[in-house]
Every structure is written in structure tokens, then in C-alpha cells.
Structure 1
């Protein structure tokens, strides 16, 4: 309820009758103020005319006025500048830490807003606001899509900057971690990020000229050579495989040399994965890409075109994995190259945000523009949620559009955060 009160205050969805404080003074809202999502009053620098006098200050909103004391605002000096306390139910007089009683005003959520909100929360069909979205002007849709795209890129850049800090300021190491996360392709993304964050990057670099040693480090550190964590069937097949025995021996030597402890094997997901996406395959591809040095950040920033970018990200498995998907079980020979669609996903999820973040770090607007150009040049991604939005009339012409729709789903629809969504705004205002 309190979130809805914030919503109607922010968007000024107010009753037609005159607003008054509890002591009868007329209230005119000139400006609702800046919505504060952190600690402190809910709205900063609101402009109000109360009983003919202009006030500029903060506004606090609660479902019940007694919540003022429940949240200890009467003891917090940050609330001394509250010029109006708004509540759906006025059941207590309030006072600030300096002893002043701020004026209070009763404000109710309009019934049609409440009805629309409950319908959105209860809807099973995705997206729940589809009927409203299909009627929105193209300019309204385009404006929100642009904002969503910028928001997603900002979120991805923030994650990269966190990796840079975690790696002691190394952009190369942060880029490797970003690429590694992308090699999880959704299902194992978190596992790959955890693996890359703990991988001893500097020690691995000493063995970069030996792809076998790098593969032993990558797969061994991931815990995928741990026979104790395998099923009996897996252990029997693996220990009878000469390549596994050799790889495990190399890993144990390197682990002792660098005092390394492997991740738990259980971190990785295999269930319902296509064999092409098994962690063994992805780690081998990543090892070969790392040893080739093609995907270093210093190389990526020199790529002038999308075709150049696709070329440097080409990767295949080591010879053993051409005929295997798991240890000890031979399969038909296949180089297992990264597919064209997989390379494009690496560019979308790793290269684009890295170029943008690195460009921002270096104050290089050309690098930032190149990142945006790449998104505009890449074909649209395809998944269930994107197709459902397209059924609502929102076409996705390129990866920039689909990234906007992914952000819409992940940050708003999945969280039922309709109150912060512009599509939700129109749905809630609908009186149909």
C-alpha cells in the first residue's frame, strides 16, 4: 500500500476534491519532489502551497501515520525538514526530533488504481499489461525502450567496474572474468563468474604458452577433476581415460605449486544442458581462446568492425574434446567451434559493456560509441520473453532492442515492479 501511495504522489494521481491537512488547511502540490529510494524522507525538495504559503522541503509517506513512530522518525534529525506527512490512515499526531509537529494530510489510493495494481500482480499471462502496451503510441514505447537499454548497459558497466576493483585495477583481468561469465551462457554464468573471481590469474599467465597446462588449471580449478565428487559411473570412466589421468596429474602438480584449492564440483550444472554446453567443453574453448591471446582487451579495442570482433572470438576445443563431451566416453569427431550465435552473445554480454566501461574510464567517447554501434549492428536475440513482447507489437530490429526487452523482463516484470515501469504507469492509469 505504501508503494502505491508513493506512486500516486509521484505521478500526482490525486482526487478531484480539494486537498486539506488534518487541521483544515488547503494543500496545493506545485511539485511532488524527487523520489528518494535510499534512507531519509521519501521525497526531497517538494514544492507545496499550504494555506497560501509556499513551502519547499521534504515529504514523508506512510500507510498509517503511526508508522512515523514505528520507523523512529521522531528520533531522526533527517526528518526535521519534512513539510508534509502523508498517510492513507491518520491515526496519530507526529512530531520531529526537534519537537515540531509537521502538518499531516490524508491521501487514499483511487479504487481503479488499486484494482489495476492487483490485477497486474495476479496476472498469469505474460506480459500482464499487453493490452495497454498494444495501444501505446510508438514514441512512448521507443522512449521507454531507450531508457531500458541505457539502464541495462549501466548495470553491466557497474558489474565490470566491480570486477576491476576486485582485481586490483586490472582491466585485462576484469575482461577475462567478464568473458568467462558469458561462457556460462545463462545456466552456468554464476559458476563461471565465481570460478573466474577465484582463479589465480597471474599464476595462470605464467603457463599461457602451454594450452594443456592452462586447460588442466581451468578444469582442475573448477573441481571437475575431483574423482571423489563423481558418481561411480563417472569415476570408472574417467580413471580409465589416459587423458583424464594426465590432466589430473598436471592439475595436482600445479595446485601444489601455487597452493590452489579447487571449487566444489557441485557448483556446476549439467542437468538438461546440451552436451555442447557442458562445462568441460566451455572451459576447453575458453582455455584455447585465452592461450591464443586474440581475446585480450588490448586486442579487442583495436577491432574496427563487427566482422573483426567475430573473428578474434573464434574458439574451438583442444584435440581431446573433439571426440569427447565427458571423460572416458568417446563421441563422433567435432571441432566444437563456438557457434556464430554464441559469439554474438559474447559480444553483447562481454565485449559491448567492456568497451563502454573502458571507454568511460579513459574518457574515450569513440570507444563508447563503438560499443553502441556494435549493439545496433548485431541481430536481435531470441527467447520466449522477447517473442511475447513482439506479439504485443514491440519489434526488435537488433540486439539493442532485445537488450532493452531483457532489462524490462529482468528488472521489472520478473520482480512485479510495475510501479517503476512506464508501461505499468499507463496500465495503472487505465479506467477500462
Structure 2
């Protein structure tokens, strides 16, 4: 209920009758203030006219006014500048740490807002706001889509900046970790990020001219050469395979040389994966890409066109994996090139945010513009949720649009966070007669 009170205050979805304090003074909301999602009062720098006098200060909102004391606001100087306390139930007078008594006002969530909110939360179809969205002006939709796209890109850039800090300021290492995460293609993304974070990047670089040693380091550090973590069938097939034995011996030598430890094999997901997506295959492709040096950040930043970026990210597996998907089990020969769709996903999830983050770091607007151009040039991603939004009249024309819709799903719809969504806002304020 308190969240809804915040919502109607912020958006001024207020009763039609005159607002008054509990002691009868008229209240006019000039500016509801800046919504504060951290500690301190709920709204900063609100402008209110109370009984004809202009007040500028903070507003605190609770479901019940007694919550003021439950949250110890009466002992916190941060609440001394509260000029109005709002609650749906006034059941106590309030006092600040400096002894003043801010005026209080009773405010209720309009019934139609409550009904709309409950309907959105209870809806079993996706998206729950589809009727509202289908009636919205194109400009309103476009504005929210643009904001969602910027928000998603900012989230990815923030993650990259965190990787830069974790790698001691190395943008090259952070880019490799970002590429590695993208090689998980959703299912194994977390495992790839964990793997990249513990990979000894500087030591691996010394062996970059030997793809076999790099593959041994990559697969070995992933825990996929540890027979103690295999089942009996896997262990028998692997230990009878000469290539596995060579890889394991090389890994054990390098692990001892650099004091390395391996991940747990159980971190990786194989179940229900197409063989093309098995971690062995993705790690071999990544090893070949790393050894080629084509996907170094220094190389990617020189690519001007989408075709050049796509060319730089092309990779395949080492000769052994052309005829295998797992150790000891031969299959029909296949170079297992990274597909064009997979390369585009790498550009969307790794190259674009890295160019933007790196460009921002270097104050290079050309790199940031290139990132945006790539996103606009790429075809849209395709999944169930994007197709359902298309049924509502929102068609993804390019990857920038599909990224916006993915952000909408993951950050708002999936979390039922309709109170922060602009589509949710229009749904919440709808009356039955409109």
C-alpha cells in the first residue's frame, strides 16, 4: 500500500476533492518533489502551499502515521526538514528529532487505481497492459522505448566498468571477460563470467601463440578436465581419448607452473543444450578467437563498419572438436564456425556496450556514436516476448528496439514492477469509462 501511496503522490493521481491537513488547512501540491529511493525522506524538495503559505522541503509517506515512530524518524535529524507527513491512516501525531511537529494529511489510493494495480498483478497473459498499450500514441511508446534502450545500455556499461575495476584497470581484460560472458549465450553466461574472472589473464597471454596450450588452459580452468567430477561413462570415454590425455597433462603442467585452480564442473550446464552450445565447443571457439587477436579491444575499436566487426568475431573450433562434441565420442566432421546469429549477439551484448563504455571513459564521442550505429544496423533479436509485444503493435525494427523490449521484460514485466513502468502508469490511471 505504501508503494501505491508513493505512486499516486509522485504522479499526482489525487482525489478530486480539496486536500486538507488533519487540522483543516488547505494543501496545494505545486511540485511533489524528487522521489528518493535511498535512506531519508521519501520526496526531496517538494513545493507545497499550505493555508496560503509556500513551503519547500521534504515529504514523508507511510501507510499509517504511527509508522513514523516504528521507523525511528523521531530520532533521525534527516527528517527535521519534513514539511508534510502523508498517510492513508492517521493514528498518531508525529514529532521530529528537533521537536517540531510537521502537519499531516490523510491520503487514500483511488479505488480505480487499486483495481487497475491488482488487475495488472493478477493478469495471466503477457503483457498484462496490452489493452492500454494498443491505444497509446506512437510518440509515447517511442519515448519509453528510447528510455528503456538507454537504461539497458547503461546497465551493461556499469557491469563493464565493474570488470575494469576487478581487473586492475585493464580494459582489454574487461573486454575479454565481456566477450566470454556473451559466449554463454544466456544458459552458461554466469558460468563463463565466473570462469573469466578467475582466469590468469596475464599468464595466458604468454601462451597466446600456442592454441593448444590456450585451449588446455581454458578447458582445464573450467574444470572440464577433472575426471573426479565426471560420471563413470564420461570418465571411461575421456581417459581412453589421446587428445583428452594430452590436454589434461598440459593443463596439470600449466596449473602447477602458475598455481592455478579449476572451477567445479557442476557449474556448467549441459542439460537440454544443443551440442553446438556445449561448453567444450564454446571454449574451443573462444580459444581460437583469443589466439587470432582479431577480437582484441585495440582491434575492435578500429572497425568502422558492421561487416568489419562481424569479420573480426568469426571463429571456429580446433581440429579435434571438428569431429567431437564431447571427449571420446567422435561425430561427423563439422568446422563448427560461430553462426552469423551468434556473432550478432556478441556484437549486441559485448561489442556495443564496450565501445560505449570505453568511448565514455576516453571522452571519445565517435566510439559512442559507432556503438549506437551498430545497434541500429543489426537485425532485431527474436524471442517469444518480443513477438508478443509485436501483437500489441510494437514491432522491433532493429536490435536497439529488441534490446528495449528485453529490458522492459526483464526489469519491469518479469518483476511485476508496473509502478516504475510508463506503460504501467497509463494502465494504472485508466478509468473504466475511458
Do the structures match in fold with TM over 0.5? Answer: yes
The alpha-carbon deviation at position 311 of structure 1 amounts to 0.2
Q: Where do residues 167-206 of structure 1 align in structure 2 (5 Å cutoff)?
A: 167-206=167-206
Q: Where do residues 16-165 of structure 1 align in structure 2 (5 Å cutoff)?
A: 16-165=16-165
Q: Secondary structure at the match of 1:63?
A: strand
Q: Name structure 1 gaps, 5 residues minimum.
A: none
The alpha-carbon deviation at position 39 of structure 1 amounts to 0.9
Alignment partners' CA distance in 2, 1:91 and 1:204: 66
Question: Considering only aligned residues, what root-mean-square deviation do their CA atoms show, in Å?
Answer: 0.5
- Structure 2 residue 216 is matched with structure 1 residue 250: no
Alignment partners' CA distance in 2, 1:111 and 1:198: 54
Q: Secondary structure at the match of 1:334?
A: coil
Alignment partners' CA distance in 1, 2:216 and 2:117: 54
Alignment partners' CA distance in 1, 2:21 and 2:229: 67
Q: Secondary structure at the match of 2:88?
A: strand
Q: Secondary structure at the match of 2:96?
A: coil
Q: Secondary structure at the match of 2:256?
A: helix
The alpha-carbon deviation at position 70 of structure 1 amounts to 1.1
Q: Secondary structure at the match of 1:216?
A: helix
Partner of 1:302: 302
Partner of 2:431: 431
Alignment partners' CA distance in 2, 1:30 and 1:89: 23
Q: Render the CA deviation track for 1:92-133: whole Å, top value 9, x for unaligned.
A: 111111111111100000001001101111111010001110
The alpha-carbon deviation at position 138 of structure 1 amounts to 0.4
Q: Secondary structure at the match of 2:86?
A: strand
Partner of 1:316: 316
- Structure 2 residue 402 is matched with structure 1 residue 392: no
Alignment partners' CA distance in 2, 1:325 and 1:67: 61
Alignment partners' CA distance in 1, 2:306 and 2:344: 9
Q: Render the CA deviation track for 1:2-24: whole Å, top value 9, x for unaligned.
A: 11000000000000111011111
Alignment partners' CA distance in 2, 1:336 and 1:22: 73
Alignment partners' CA distance in 1, 2:17 and 2:169: 58
Alignment partners' CA distance in 2, 1:132 and 1:154: 28
Partner of 2:357: 357
Q: Secondary structure at the match of 2:334?
A: coil
Q: Name structure 2 gaps, 5 residues minimum.
A: none
Alignment partners' CA distance in 2, 1:110 and 1:290: 59
Q: Render the CA deviation track for 1:356-391: whole Å, top value 9, x for unaligned.
A: 000000000011000000000000000111111011
Q: Secondary structure at the match of 1:254?
A: helix
Alignment partners' CA distance in 2, 1:95 and 1:258: 63
Partner of 1:382: 382
The alpha-carbon deviation at position 237 of structure 1 amounts to 0.6
Alignment partners' CA distance in 2, 1:72 and 1:190: 40
The alpha-carbon deviation at position 430 of structure 1 amounts to 1.0
Alignment partners' CA distance in 1, 2:227 and 2:351: 36
Partner of 1:216: 216
The alpha-carbon deviation at position 144 of structure 1 amounts to 0.2
Q: Render the CA deviation track for 1:218-252: whole Å, top value 9, x for unaligned.
A: 00000011111111111111111000011001000
Partner of 2:277: 277
The alpha-carbon deviation at position 431 of structure 1 amounts to 1.1
Q: Render the CA deviation track for 1:279-314: whole Å, top value 9, x for unaligned.
A: 000000000000000000000000010000000000
Alignment partners' CA distance in 2, 1:396 and 1:376: 11
In the TM superposition, structure 1's runs of 4+ consecutive aligned residues that sit over 4 Å from their partners are none
Alignment partners' CA distance in 1, 2:170 and 2:223: 26
Alignment partners' CA distance in 2, 1:330 and 1:180: 26
The alpha-carbon deviation at position 424 of structure 1 amounts to 0.2
The alpha-carbon deviation at position 406 of structure 1 amounts to 0.5
Alignment partners' CA distance in 1, 2:105 and 2:271: 56
The alpha-carbon deviation at position 164 of structure 1 amounts to 0.4
- The TM-score with structure 1 as length reference comes to 1.00
Tell me the matched-pair count. 432
- Structure 2 residue 336 is matched with structure 1 residue 336: yes
Alignment partners' CA distance in 2, 1:243 and 1:312: 29
Alignment partners' CA distance in 2, 1:148 and 1:187: 23
- Structure 2 residue 371 is matched with structure 1 residue 371: yes
- The TM-score with structure 2 as length reference comes to 0.99
The alpha-carbon deviation at position 426 of structure 1 amounts to 0.5
